[in-house]
Chains A and B, each alone.
Chain A
Amino acid sequence: MMDLRHIPNQRDQETVKMHLRRFWLAPVGIVFYTTMLYLLPGIAAVAYHARLTTLLAQPLLGPVTAIIICMYILGVWLFGFLEFTDYYLDVWIVTNERIINIEQKGLFTRVASELHLAAIQDATSEVSGPLHTFLDYGNVVVETAAEKIRFVFREVPKPESVKEIILELVEQDKKRHNEELAVDIAEQGGTPQQQAQQSSQTKTGPV
């Protein structure tokens, strides 16, 4: 299993600031539907117990019905857990360097993409609908300027706070990179302006 202290391709001093999944209503919904798929036929079986017993005692229809019942019970169990896996493996990891978007599409397709904080231009939170507003969950859309890349954190809890944290991390990342750049320039000698002049002279140097 993946440990959040050791994410894939982790850089020096990169730390996980938050990891997000869809709001808890999603797994509760899966449990609810699975329970209903067991409960409703179960109630029907209890209500028509005598007829079901007669049917199961039939020489041919009995075994056929028994097989169908077994397949149904196992199928619902598998369906419930496949849905849970689909929910559980959709995750957004925000570090102080990048955002990693991992999406599980069905059982055999897994898409992992990442976005560096330096490339982020804007983050928007969307909460629409009475239930979303009451329980405070919704989407967060992270956009870059040039490449028109959009990361959508779907149905995450507290989208407003998530957006604020992302924007704050973007600011911190910019500051850190500027400081690192200044240190590099200072180590090479000269002020940033001088360095810039030198570099422009090199590029447009005498023919």
Chain B
Amino acid sequence: MPLSVHIPLAVLLIPYALFLCYFSFYAFFNLYLLLRFGIYNPVAVFVIIIFSAGSIFLLAASSAFLLSYSWSSPMDFSSIINGVKGPLAPLL
């Protein structure tokens, strides 16, 4: 009797979520340092705005990109082997 284990693809999002925690922590601390200890000038304000806006944009874009996948579907390990034999052969 074949053993079938259904692990949803969403498991892959765990390391991504951990990375997002790391990113958020460092981004907020970075902004805090610039706002708390930076010397006031227009360039610094411009950089803070660019960093904040860019971070929000990249987070939104990456979320939109990842949402295009169906994360509830089970992991299909056989697709890796099939991919190596088939369309991914020239890539790998």
Q: Which residues of A contact B (CB under 8 A)?
A: 1-4, 19, 48, 51, 54-55, 58-64, 66-67, 69-71, 73-75, 77-78, 81-82, 84-85, 88-89, 91, 102, 104, 107-108, 110
Q: Output the nearest chain A residue to B39 by Cβ-Cβ distance.
A: A2
Least CB distance, A83 to chain B, in whole angstroms:
10
Contact B15 A55 (CB under 8 A): no
> Which B residues, 33 to 92, have Cβ-Cβ distances below 8 Å to chain A?
33-40, 44, 47, 51, 54-55, 58-59, 62, 65-66, 69, 71, 73, 75-77, 79-80, 83, 87-88, 90-91
> What is the size category of the interface that chain B forms with chain A?
35 or more
7 contacting pairs across A/B (C-beta < 8 A)? A19-B39, A48-B91, A62-B69, A73-B58, A78-B30, A102-B37, A104-B37
Let me know if B44 and A88 touch, CB within 8 A.
yes
Shortest B80–chain A CB gap in Å is 6
A93 nearest CB neighbor, chain B only: B39
- Residues from chain B with a CB closer than 8 A to the CB of A110 are 37
Determine how close the nearest CB of chain A comes to the CB of B19; give it in whole angstroms: 5
- Chain A interface mostly: helix
Task: Let me know if B87 and A89 touch, CB within 8 A.
Answer: no
Nearest CB in chain A: distance from B17 CB, A: 10
Pairwise interchain contact B30-A85, C-beta atoms closer than 8 A: yes
Q: How far is the CA of A79 from the CA of B69 in the complex (A)?
A: 28
Report how far A70 CA is from B12 CA in the complex, Å. Answer: 13
Which partner residue on chain A sits nearest B33 by CB separation? A85
Q: Are B19 and A74 in contact (CB under 8 A)?
A: yes
Contacts of A75 in B (CB 8 A): 19, 23
B40 near A55 (CB under 8 angstroms)?
no
Cβ of A61 and Cβ of B40 under 8 Å apart? no
**Could you tell me the distance between the alpha carbons of A51 and B12 in the complex, rounded to whole angstroms?**
22
Please, which residue of chain B has its CB at the minimum distance from the CB of A71? B19
The residues of A that contact B16 with a CB separation of less than 8 Å are 67, 70-71
Known interface pairs A66-B65, A71-B19, A77-B55; A1-B26 also in contact (CB < 8 Å): no
